[in-house]
A and B are shown apart, each in its own frame.
Chain A
């Protein structure tokens, strides 16, 4: 059974700081890993998708890496802004149509 863990559960940083969010998973036989952000009371917005054959993906100030052998992924956010404040979740897809989510990291960026 796939288990996904995200550390830390919460993180508070001053504006402008670079930061890293972590995601670990127990079963390395994955199709892909997807990072999302969720604002309070809203649905999830897809940030980055890394296929199992890829090592990293980049979008603007975001960079996600994947190390299947160690069961880890990181989401790097450069030059953080108050608008980045949200909960960030990672989802591991080990079966077409079913993803396992971590509990998320709640990020607060202080002006």
Chain B
């Protein structure tokens, strides 16, 4: 199956710093990628839909200025957690669909665990 790669897989940072997480589709192109956040023992909550070449669409309650999303190419989307605080500590997961199959399978990255001290 298709592969979605996330980097880094885990990161620890100090409160107030910014952290960038990359999501790459390795063997397909994706005009749309999705960013999810998952707290321990909970489901995946969609944060935003990342659209190549345009602004991301954020879900209700997600701070646009806190979670900056950039989808610079058909294979790369980045999530930047700005001025991170301990409450931002979570498991962040991206996903993507091959653009030729808009209604098909959604492939997920391995996730990035962020710990803010």
A binds B: no
Binding site for B on A (CB under 8 A): none
Binding site for A on B (CB under 8 A): none
